[in-house]
Amino acid sequence: MKIGSGLFSIFCLIIIIPSILLIYSMNYDTTGNIGIWLTILVTIIDIVAVVMWVWIYKRILVPLDKLQIATKRIADGDLDYQLDERDFSEIPFLYNDFERMRIKLKEDEEEKKLSEDAAKELVSNISHDLKTPLTAIRGYVEGILDGVASSPQKTRDYLNTIYNKTNDMTSLIDELLYYSQVAEKHMSYKYEKIYVKEFFDEYVKDLYLELETIKIKFEYIVDIGRNTVIDMDKEQIKRALNNIVSNAVKYMDKEEPEIHFRVTETSDAINIQISDNGRGIDEKDLPHIFERFYRSDVSRNTKLGGSGIGLSIVKKVIENHEGSVVAVSKPGVGTEVGIELKK
Ligand SMILES: Nc1ncnc2c1ncn2[C@@H]1O[C@H](COP(=O)(O)OP(=O)(O)OP(=O)(O)O)[C@@H](O)[C@H]1O
Ligand SMILES: [Mg+2]
């Protein structure tokens, strides 16, 4: 029996039984005194029963009904379905517990979605960055096969760079494996104290060779103390730099291409500037280039492949180092990307 109809039957009995007794006793009451008192009593009982029924119906049965509807909606996945607090003034604990459950489920759902999005983003970022060393390796191997590496020293340099590029790829794949095994919510960074000058000297060695093979003039200026140290994740910073340089190469349109790499320091920061004399970026595109999947109309209309995520990776890596990245550009003249990393 349902709770509503059960209660209704009880209230009917409360009203009907005294009424029957009243009628029955009136038949035997000769004085009429008992009849008056019984009538008053039965009327009071009936009124109380009706008032109680209405109260229980409105304050308990209707809210329970609403709770049942809400539970069904939540079970069907509608976690935004909210109860009206005013309906539960007599049973506030039910409303509070239900709301707590709904909010917790909603938070869990959002967190799950966020970590799924983060996983998707990580996989697409790594796939994107794997392309860069692969393209370079293919270039060097072709260089060796075509005899561009004319001396044994050159061949050794090429092979060394291929070796370094495969190391870059290994760390990217390790990152992917680490993520899939540990299933962490956020990508973990491996911060360590790095001697900045040594790091950049090493980084540009490969870069110099790489740009030389594609006939881009490269200038490296470093004005940093030997002992300057910052906390960073070397592999991630390399990824960011690779993305900036690969843009400088990809969007180059000059007969005499140039890329300049400058690293300087102030009392509390390291500044890195990478500039090119490529085709530059339109004023209207410049504020958006760090957004994920943003590509200027010019980029989209050319055959230069790309998904528009390179600079969003740069931004993420630099911001995770609590640094900042900006770009200035003049269409037709060139682009400069500046990074500041706090000491
Ligand atoms: N050095 C540059 N010179 C000219 N345009 C640039 C330069 N760097 C970035 N851009 C512009 O900014 C856009 C976004 O760059 P981003 O690296 O994020 O994506 P992408 O290079 O188009 O694709 P992806 O890096 O995913 O292969 C580019 O499409 C291009 O229009
Ligand atoms: Mg790019």
Confidence label for 324 from pLDDT (cuts 50, 70 and 90)? very high
Domain count, the chain: 3
107 is a domain residue: no
| Residue pLDDT, tens place only, 80-104 | 999 999 999 888 999 999 999 999 9
Q: What is the mean pLDDT of residues 295-310?
A: 71
Q: Is 295 in the pocket of ligand 1 (CB under 6 A)?
A: yes
Residues 135 and 13 in one domain: no
State the closest ligand 1 atom to the C-alpha of 294, by its place in the atom list counted from 1. 14
138 and 79: one domain?
Answer: no
User: Looking at the structure, do residues 210 and 315 belong to the same domain, yes or no?
Assistant: yes
Q: What is the DSSP letter of 286?
A: G
Which residue would you say has higher pLDDT here, 341 or 6? 341
Looking at residue 110, its amino acid is E
Q: Does 108 map to a domain?
A: no
- Asked if residue 100 belongs to a domain, the reply is no
50: CA distance to ligand 2 center in Å? Answer: 76
pLDDT at residue 280 above 60? yes
Task: Give Cα separations from 57 to 1, 12, 52, 71, 168 (angstroms).
Answer: 16, 14, 8, 20, 71
pLDDT, the chain, mean: 87
291's enclosing H/E stretch is none
Q: Which residue has the higher pLDDT, 4 or 84?
A: 84
Question: pLDDT of 144-160, one tens digit each?
Answer: 998 888 889 989 989 98
Please indicate, yes or no, whether residues 210 and 298 belong to a single structural domain of this protein.
yes
Domain membership flag for residue 105: no
**For ligand 1, what atom is nearest to the CA of residue 308?**
19
Determine, yes or no, domain membership for 196.
Answer: yes
pLDDT reported for residue 185: 45
Same domain, 173 and 232: no
Task: Write the CATH number for 291.
Answer: 3.30.565.10
> Are 200 and 181 in a shared domain?
no
279 in contact with ligand 1, CB cutoff 6 A: yes
In ligand 1, which atom is closest to the CA atom of 279?
4
Q: What is the pLDDT of residue 200?
A: 96
Q: What integer is the mean pLDDT of 118-131? A: 82
Question: Is residue 198, in this structure, part of any structural domain at all?
Answer: yes
Whether 52 and 151 share a structural domain: no
Domain extent, residue 145, equals 115-188
For the residues 63-67, what does the mean pLDDT come to?
A: 92
